[in-house]
Chain A
Amino acid sequence: MAGVHVSTTVNGDDVEFVCPGSESLLDVLRNRLGLTGAKEGCGTGDCGACSVTVDGQLVCACLMLGAEVEGRQVQTVEGMAQGDQLHPLQRQFIENAALQCGICTPGFLMAAKALLDRNPDPTETEIRYALAGNLCRCTGYDKIVRAVSATAKELSQEATTKGSKKR
């Protein structure tokens, strides 16, 4: 069967692959690029376990075709830490025990990062609605909301410190 040749950027690296036109971005990431951090929980866009960003937009990788990411910027959980430095969200998830089984965690981290990127100081309600597309069956979301809230606080304090240093 004829494949589609795709050139794209994943976590800042240039990537090329060939996939059938019908193959989802999720299957491309997991089966062709070896990036198994995004998970398939449903395959229908209902659980958010496959959340990634494409050009900064949060999407379910199971609902996009691999062929659609030609020339675009894809970010996955594997690209979240900078070298050996975990992203503050990753650290806060561990410190707040915001994961039990951990299967939904990559999706939650991507969704929470997308939230904080556009709203650095969300209320509890804003956090809850921003994460409503991600299902977690273990935690009841309590510690996840707390972890996101703590990260927002940490990042805003960091920004204040940096700001005052500049002055």
Chain B
Amino acid sequence: MTLDTQFTDQKFKLVGSRPDRPDGVDKVTGRARYGADASAPGQLVGAILRSPHAHAKIKKIDTSKAEKLKGVKAVITSADLPDLTNGNRGNYDILENCMARGRALYDGHAVAAVAAIDAETARRALSLISVDYKVLPHVTDVDAAMRSNAPIVQPHVRTAGGEPSDKPTNIAQISTFGHGDVEAGFAKADKIVEKSYKTEQTHQGYIEPHACLATVGPDGQGELWVTTQGHYTFRNLCASLLGMDIAKLKVTSSEIGGGFGGKTHVWMEPLALALSRKANRPVKLVMSREDVFRASGPTSSTSMDIKIGCTNDGRITAATATLRYQDGAFPGIWGMLGAMTAFACYDLENVQSVGYDVLVNRPKVAAYRAPSAPMAAFGVESTIDLLAAELNMDAVEFRLLNAAKEGTKASYGPTYGPIGIGPTLEAVKNHPHMHAPLGKNQGRGMACGFWFNFGGQTCTDLNIGVDGTVNMTVGTVDVGGARASLSLIAAEELGIPYEHVKCNIGDTASLGHNDTTEGSRGTFSSGMATIFAARNAIEELKSRAAKTWDIDPEEVDWVDGEAVAKGVEHSNLGPLSLAQIAKASPNTGGPIAGHSETVADGAGVSFASHICDVEVDPETGSTRVVRYTVVQDAGKAIHPDYVEGQFQGGAAQGIGWALNEEYIYGEDGRLQNPGFLDYRIPVCSDLPFIDTEILEIPNPNHPYGIRGVGETSIVPPLAAIANAVSNAAGVRMDHIPMSPPRIRKAIKAEAAMHQEVSAG
């Protein structure tokens, strides 16, 4: 059966090799076109006016002066975006986040937008718009927002999953997962460690700001060129918010300059379309870096309590987590995901995790690479290390003893199939890194991480040219080498050289719906659809060969890129290559193509274990990562270079998060560091080489065994580095990022405590 998703352990000729990526030349010559690189004749420049207040009632917006400025072609406010959401609260929240409707909910919330003939005129127009605000009390801290006297961010919100109440609250949702009896489990424990942790808000930090070029005519037809992880989702949302027909809005995904989850949501794209519609001219709208920090979708800041108990021989008897995640100004699922992932690495009899989704006056939180998992892992994996120390047991051995395995009922519900947590821990245990000597002021830490991985709706076309080369169109975007991986898969299936495949990212007019490229689904889902489309084309190729030979299609096999007639009675028929069949196609039935429309189910869960050595300067509290190793299960690495790249990139983002990156809000509720100078992501001289080890434990639900690889690598670093810093500095760090002032303060506090103890 061609559409069987079962893993078949097929022997590969091309998959697993490392050819040059097909879009390489475009990307090293400056030719590749990203979001801000497109232009249209007559295009206007868009600009957005943003709230300087964390929380304010918008009493009046006067745009008359701006409208009169020469060169201004359109000015819009929420009045130009009528509510067409029909009671769909999720869509209403998106509309309100794109432009404030009566209340500004965070510093940076859009309140008006203009389109003008050039950037200078657009800027001047913004300065002529006058907004009459009544400033309201605000809250930006997650714990403060949960207090009963906190300013209310969204008056309509009541707690989903909580006690029924009429009282407005900032707790949008409570999500509980787990099984067993945790009280009974703790009663059986010989040792219990309970500790609270905090993490600060970070941003994905993609280098390319959000950018788009929108064109809408009075005929209701439109086009949107945009940097996005999901052009089909953008199309559906934008069309629905603006009252357009989905079929009449064509969305093209540009090359994407990094997303990491932050480009799964619309931010200013509906505004660009609305401006274009009003001006009847193309409008280019590009966010500044400051806008990106203030008004796109960073990750949650969190506060959490973790409690784990075990017997003296190292078996965990019970574990609980209370996880408070802020969602920004609109309800999300981030606390829920934290609660689902917290204990996913372990085989636990009694476990409970409770996630709180909490509203604050900060920008709406979006996904950031394995969203919510790194923070929960920081709390859990730090506590695991503390418990191992209490037991005087090796931290890797302790984890191995309690690791989930095939048949384990996961804390979030399902029962695992074959999984990689045990093998990654074994690999860590045996890795030379674990046994290398450490220098002065250095410490080593390790930690584990989990991510679900997603599949979803996927559509792929594969067209065979008359010269035997293959043009393939996929609907997931290429965030970091996907064209290379998918071309390898197509070539493998068809039995042709890698160089004979050209992989394109299709626009929304070229293919059926594809879900957003998120959840590490690109290579998993489009890989599956590519296999099916190729097998679909092979059926057609076989039928053409049969026609040529005048035999039954059932009597034709496909072997190494050639049609072969089966049986001794056809031994006189030489094989027909793909190129030969393609060349004859005009006379055997016309073009040859393969298609696949599928819902790619069965994404395989993914686990990683990381090892990290750091050196902490006890004088300054400054920390340097001196060695880092990532071990992760890829299921099957299609193009190992880009799998390693995902491992390394996730680790580097995790290092930045652990040591340095954080949103800093002032008392006034305004973001104080919206730029790369003060929100400092790791630079080249901050990092060592990041070693990788790819494990391949096949996903039983994918023909090639593929699991997603993109996200899990950011889950362990916060905890691995915290464990390493704690071992190096001799103090347990419980607040991320572990910036120099925080480490110095912790070292001093520890020293003061020792002094007190010895003096006493």
Q: Are A132 and B675 in contact (CB under 8 A)?
A: no
A43 contacts B by Cβ under 8 Å:
yes
A136 contacts B by Cβ under 8 Å:
yes
**In the complex, which residues of chain B have a beta carbon less than 8 angstroms from the beta carbon of A132?**
683-686
CB-contacts of A89-140 with B (<8 A): 90-91, 93-97, 99-106, 109, 125, 127-129, 131-140
Closest residue of chain B to A45 (Cβ to Cβ) is B677
Roughly how many angstroms separate A16 CA and B25 CA in the complex, as a whole number? Answer: 29
CB-contacts of A48-68 with B (<8 A): 49
Roughly how many angstroms separate A75 CA and B204 CA in the complex, as a whole number? Answer: 31
Q: Are B676 and A138 in contact (CB under 8 A)?
A: no
Q: Are B288 and A103 in contact (CB under 8 A)?
A: no
From A43, A80, A143, contact of B645 by CB (8 A): A143
Question: How many A-B contacts at CB < 8 Å in the complex?
Answer: 186
Roughly how many angstroms separate A78 CA and B652 CA in the complex, as a whole number? Answer: 29
Q: Are A44 and B652 in contact (CB under 8 A)?
A: no
**In the complex, which residues of chain B have a beta carbon less than 8 angstroms from the beta carbon of A131?**
683-685
Closest residue of chain B to A37 (Cβ to Cβ) is B30
Roughly how many angstroms separate A38 CA and B286 CA in the complex, as a whole number? Answer: 15
Which of B255-263, B330-338, B534-542 has 4 or more CB atoms under 8 Å from chain A?
B255-263
A141 contacts B by Cβ under 8 Å:
yes
Task: Determine how close the nearest CB of chain A comes to the CB of B617; give it in whole angstroms.
Answer: 18
A154 contacts B by Cβ under 8 Å:
no
Q: Given contacts A103-B258, A137-B205, is CB(A77)–CB(B36) below 8 Å?
A: no
Q: Are A101 and B30 in contact (CB under 8 A)?
A: no
From B27, B648, B689, contact of A102 by CB (8 A): B27
Q: Given contacts A42-B289, A94-B21, is CB(A139)–CB(B29) below 8 Å?
A: no
Roughly how many angstroms separate A19 CA and B26 CA in the complex, as a whole number? Answer: 29
From A86, A137, A146, contact of B206 by CB (8 A): A137
Closest residue of chain A to B257 (Cβ to Cβ) is A103
Roughly how many angstroms separate A100 CA and B235 CA in the complex, as a whole number? Answer: 25
A36 contacts B by Cβ under 8 Å:
yes
From A20, A47, A99, A143, contact of B648 by CB (8 A): A143
Task: Determine how close the nearest CB of chain B comes to the CB of A78; give it in whole angstroms.
Answer: 5
A81 contacts B by Cβ under 8 Å:
yes
Q: Are B642 and A41 in contact (CB under 8 A)?
A: no
**In the complex, which residues of chain B have a beta carbon less than 8 angstroms from the beta carbon of A40?**
36, 209, 286
Roughly how many angstroms separate A134 CA and B23 CA in the complex, as a whole number? Answer: 22
Q: Are A104 and B207 in contact (CB under 8 A)?
A: yes
CB-contacts of B251-271 with A (<8 A): 255-260
Q: Are A106 and B258 in contact (CB under 8 A)?
A: no
Q: Are A77 and B21 in contact (CB under 8 A)?
A: no
Roughly how many angstroms separate A128 CA and B648 CA in the complex, as a whole number? Answer: 16
A35 contacts B by Cβ under 8 Å:
yes
CB-contacts of B168-219 with A (<8 A): 204-209
Roughly how many angstroms separate A144 CA and B641 CA in the complex, as a whole number? Answer: 12
Task: Determine how close the nearest CB of chain A comes to the CB of B133; give it in whole angstroms.
Answer: 27
Q: Are B208 and A39 in contact (CB under 8 A)?
A: yes
Roughly how many angstroms separate A31 CA and B32 CA in the complex, as a whole number? Answer: 16
**In the complex, which residues of chain A have a beta carbon less than 8 angstroms from the beta carbon of B27?**
99, 102, 105
Roughly how many angstroms separate A80 CA and B206 CA in the complex, as a whole number? Answer: 25
Roughly how many angstroms separate A133 CA and B172 CA in the complex, as a whole number? Answer: 42
Q: Are A46 and B37 in contact (CB under 8 A)?
A: no
Q: Are A101 and B479 in contact (CB under 8 A)?
A: yes
A–B complex contacts, Cβ < 8 Å, 6 sampled: A36-B36, A47-B676, A97-B645, A100-B258, A101-B206, A143-B648
A residues with CB within 8 A of B: 1, 20, 22, 27, 30, 35-44, 46-47, 49, 76-78, 80-81, 86, 90-91, 93-97, 99-106, 109, 125, 127-129, 131-146
B residues with CB within 8 A of A: 18, 20-21, 23-34, 36-37, 119-120, 204-209, 255-260, 286, 288-289, 479-481, 641-642, 644-645, 648-649, 651-653, 675-677, 681-687, 689-690
* A-B interface, 3 closest residue pairs, ranked by CB to CB distance from nearest: A37-B30, A103-B257, A140-B652
